Structure 1
Amino acid sequence: MKRICVIGGSRYFGKVLVQRLQAAGHRVTVLNRGSAPPPEGVEHLVADRDDEAALVAALGSRSFDAVVDQVCYTPVQAAIAARAFSGRTRRYVLTSTIEVYDPATAALPAVPPGTPVPEETVDPAAWLVRMDLPWHDAAYLQAHYAEGKRQAEAVLAQHRGFAFAAVRSAHVLGGGAAEFTGRLLHYTERITHGTPIAVHAEALPTVFIHYEELAELLRWAATLTDATGPVNACSDGALDVYRLGAVIAARAGREAVYRGVAAGEPASPFSFDRHYAMSNARAKELGFSFSRTADWLPGAVAEVLATTGAPTS
Structure 2
Amino acid sequence: MRLLVLGGTEFAGRALVAAGVERGWEVTVFNRGTRPVPAGVETLVGDRTEPGGLAALEAGEWDVVVDTWAAQPRAVRDTARLLQGRVGRYVYVSSCSVYAFPQPVGFDESAPLVAGDPDAGEVEYPQAKRGGELAVLDVFGAERSLLVRAGLLLGPWENVDRLPWWLRRVAEGGPVLAPGPGGNPLQYIDIRDLAAWTLDAAAAGLHGPYNMVSEQGHATMEELLTACVRVTGSDAELRWVDARTVLDAGVEPWTELPVWVPREETPELFNAVYRQDVSKAVAAGLRCRPVAETVADTWAWMRTEDPDRPRRAPRRTVGLDRAVEERILADKE
**TM-score, with length taken from structure 2:** 0.72
The answer on 1:82 being equivalent to 2:80 is yes
CA distance in structure 2 between the partners assigned to 1:216 and 1:255 by the alignment: 35
1:28-70 deviation per Cα after TM superposition (whole angstroms, max 9, x unaligned): 2110011223323322110111236330x21223122110112
Which segments of 5 or more consecutive residues in structure 2 lack a partner in the other structure? Answer: 306-333
Q: 1:120 is matched with which residue?
A: 110
The answer on 1:215 being equivalent to 2:208 is no
The answer on 1:235 being equivalent to 2:214 is yes
Report the Cα offset of residue 16 of structure 1. 3.4
Distance change in 2, residues 1:195/1:182 (3 Å): farther
Report the Cα offset of residue 228 of structure 1. 1.1
Q: 1:183 is matched with which residue?
A: 162
Which of 288-297 and 82-91 deviates more?
288-297
Report the Cα offset of residue 3 of structure 1. 1.8
CA distance in structure 2 between the partners assigned to 1:15 and 1:303 by the alignment: 17
1:250-276 deviation per Cα after TM superposition (whole angstroms, max 9, x unaligned): 544522234601499623111223212
CA distance in structure 2 between the partners assigned to 1:195 and 1:253 by the alignment: 9
Write the mapping of 1:1-313 to structure 2, written as runs, cut at 5 A.
2-51=1-50, 53-55=52-54, 57-101=55-99, 106-107=100-101, 110-112=103-105, 115=106, 117-122=107-112, 128-130=115-117, 135=122, 144-160=124-140, 163-175=144-156, 178-191=157-170, 192-194=172-174, 197=177, 199=179, 205-223=185-203, 225-236=204-215, 237-251=217-231, 252-257=234-239, 258=241, 260-262=246-248, 266-267=252-253, 268-272=257-261, 273=266, 274=269, 275-276=271-272, 277=274, 278-286=276-284, 288-300=285-297, 302-303=299-300, 306=303
2:109 partner letter: E
RMSD: 3.2
| Contact 1:157 1:164 (8 Å CA) reproduced | yes
Which segments of 5 or more consecutive residues in structure 1 lack a partner in the other structure? Answer: 136-140, 309-313
**TM-score, with length taken from structure 1:** 0.76
In percent, how many aligned pairs have the same letter? 28
| Contact 1:3 1:64 (8 Å CA) reproduced | yes
| Contact 1:203 1:271 (8 Å CA) reproduced | no
CA distance in structure 1 between the partners assigned to 2:174 and 2:294 by the alignment: 21
Report the Cα offset of residue 279 of structure 1. 2.7
